[in-house]
């Protein structure tokens, strides 16, 4: 009996030593750019957040909060740097007011054809390194960049048919401030700055005619196509780059294995979200094409090339505003020429 008790105690001690100590377990509190209930937010919270705990044996977990849950969406950089948030899965272009380099990295409007191209630039073509330089400058080294990249090319929401450059003349377009607004101005549109939450009612009340909104699946889930019957899909303009940053002290306290697991989790989650969003987008577009009340517009390669040529001028003007912005654009251009997007 004594021998059995000793064996049982030994096994219990082994289990406790093999499992992460409760005091050592860490749940990362991060804020995302998506709203609670959005397809993208449900994907992260329901499908992928639990996987990090499984990958690390419970030593590292993640709580993905919706936009504005802790701080306004443009203040997440400071919240991460100061430890109010552990991390951020936010749109890089939100911080363009701090340095135009954030706009260049956050969304090179009309620059790329596919999500894979931008993700490759961000992870392997110099984008992540520029982003780290920005955070070293603006947070004094308090932020560590894990990665960046989009998960979808945004569709364009419109209540009127826009089949090419000329159709933009005089169109009131909801657009983010900065680089996107400048490109729309240059094609003759009238940019209007509105939060995403006001896009539907603004389209309904004809305050705007069209909108730079979100991925086809998110626009569909938000009911945009009940009133905006002329979506441009695939999109012509925007692929919002989302970042994954963490507080540097939090990063440094992680074990090497947890750091690697977190990097792998990020890569896997956004690659999976890209694929699933693309399948959802295609299914929605096919259903819309088969119906009678929605006209899905796909610009010709010639019109897309004209739009990109106009956008290049806006890129160059933005890049001239700061040394890091110029460095960011130079990195983009080097990558784009190497892949045949620009000559």
pLDDT in tens, 220-247: 988 999 999 999 999 998 888 999 999 9
Q: Which residue has the tokens 């819309």?
A: 288
Residue 205 clears pLDDT 60, i.e. is over it = yes
- Split at pLDDT 50, 70, 90, the class of 39 is confident
Other CB atoms within a 10 A radius of the CB of residue 161 amount to: 12
Q: Is the pLDDT of residue 123 over 80?
A: yes
Residue 322 in this model has a pLDDT that exceeds 60: yes
**Per-residue confidence band for 331, with pLDDT thresholds at 50, 70 and 90:** very high
Structure tokens at 35: 């709203």
How many other CB atoms sit within 10 Å of the CB of residue 84? 15
Helix/strand/coil percent split, the chain, to 5: 55, 15, 35
Contact between residue 265 and residue 52 where contact means Cβ atoms under 8 Å apart: yes
| Among the listed residues 75, 91, 129, the one whose alpha carbon sits nearest the alpha carbon of residue 324 | 129
pTM: 0.85
- Specify the pLDDT at position 3: 46
Is the predicted pLDDT of residue 115 greater than 60, yes or no? yes
- SS3 track for 20-87: CCCCCCEEEEEEECCCCCCHHHHHHHHHHHHHHHHHHCCCEEEEEECCCCCCCHHHHHHHHHCCCCCE
Strands 210-212 and 242-247: unpaired
Please give the average per-residue pLDDT across 263-285, as a whole number. Answer: 95
The answer, yes or no, to whether residue 10 has pLDDT greater than 80, is: no
- Read off the pLDDT band of 146 (50, 70, 90): very high
- State what percent of residues in the chain have pLDDT above 90: 75
pLDDT of residue 196: 74
Whether the pLDDT of residue 59 is over 90: the answer is yes
How far from the centroid of its chain's Cα atoms is residue 199's Cα? 19
Task: Show the domains of the chain with their CATH numbers.
Answer: 24-151+239-280 (3.40.190.170), 156-237+294-338 (3.40.190.170)
Cα–Cα distance for residue pair 342/21, rounded to 1 Å: 53
Rg of the chain (C-alpha set): 22
Element (H, E) at 170: none
**Residues in Cβ contact with 164 at an 8 Å cutoff, skipping those fewer than 6 apart:** 299, 300, 303, 306
Which pLDDT value is given to residue 37? 83
Q: At 12, is the pLDDT very low, low, confident or very high (cuts 50, 70, 90)?
A: very low
Question: Is residue 8 very low, low, confident or very high in pLDDT (cuts 50, 70, 90)?
Answer: very low
Summary mean pLDDT of the chain: 90
pLDDT band at 50 (very low <50, low <70, confident <90, very high): very high
Give which of 243, 215, 203, 291 is closest to 102, Cα–Cα. Answer: 243
Tokens of 21: 């100590």
Residue 57 has pLDDT above 90, yes or no: yes
Q: What are the φ/ψ torsions at residue 224 (nearest 5 degrees)?
A: -60, -35
Kindly list the distances between the CA atom of residue 49 and the CA atoms of 168, 224, 284, in Å, as whole numbers in the listed order: 41, 28, 26
Strand pairing category for 172-174 and 210-212: parallel
Segment 116-131 mean pLDDT: 95
112: left (phi over 0), alpha (psi -120 to 50) or beta: beta
């Amino acid at each position: 009996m004594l021998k059995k008790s000793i064996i049982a105690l030994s096994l219990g001690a082994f289990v406790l030593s093999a499992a992460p100590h409760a005091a050592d377990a860490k749940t990362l509190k991060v804020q995302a750019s998506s709203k609670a209930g959005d397809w993208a937010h449900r994907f992260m919270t329901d499908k992928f957040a639990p996987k990090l705990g499984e990958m690390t044996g419970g030593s590292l977990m993640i709580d993905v909060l919706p936009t504005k849950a802790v701080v306004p969406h443009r203040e997440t950089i400071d919240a991460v740097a100061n430890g109010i948030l552990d991390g951020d899965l936010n749109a890089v272009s939100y911080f363009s007011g701090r340095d135009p380099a954030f706009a260049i990295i956050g969304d090179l409007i009309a620059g790329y054809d596919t999500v894979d191209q931008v993700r490759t630039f961000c992870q392997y073509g110099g984008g992540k390194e520029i982003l780290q330089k920005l955070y070293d400058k603006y947070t004094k080294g308090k932020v560590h960049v894990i990665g960046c990249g989009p998960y979808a090319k945004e569709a364009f929401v419109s209540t009127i048919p826009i089949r090419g450059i000329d159709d933009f003349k005089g169109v009131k377009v909801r657009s983010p401030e900065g680089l996107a607004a400048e490109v729309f101005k240059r094609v003759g549109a009238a940019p209007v700055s509105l939060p995403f939450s006001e896009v539907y009612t603004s389209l309904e009340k004809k305050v705007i005619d069209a909108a730079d909104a979100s991925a086809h699946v998110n626009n569909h889930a938000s009911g945009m196509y009940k009133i905006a019957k002329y979506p441009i899909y695939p999109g012509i303009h925007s692929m919002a780059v989302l970042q994954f940053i963490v507080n540097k002290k939090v990063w440094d306290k992680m074990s090497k294995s947890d750091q690697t697991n977190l990097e792998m989790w990020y890569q896997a989650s956004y690659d999976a979200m890209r694929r699933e969003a693309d399948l959802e987008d295609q299914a929605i577009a096919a259903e819309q094409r088969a119906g009678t009340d929605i006209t899905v517009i796909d610009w010709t390669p010639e019109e897309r090339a004209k739009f990109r040529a106009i956008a290049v001028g806006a890129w160059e003007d933005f890049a001239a505003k700061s040394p890091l912005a110029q460095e960011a654009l130079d990195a983009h251009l080097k990558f784009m020429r190497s892949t045949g997007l620009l000559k």
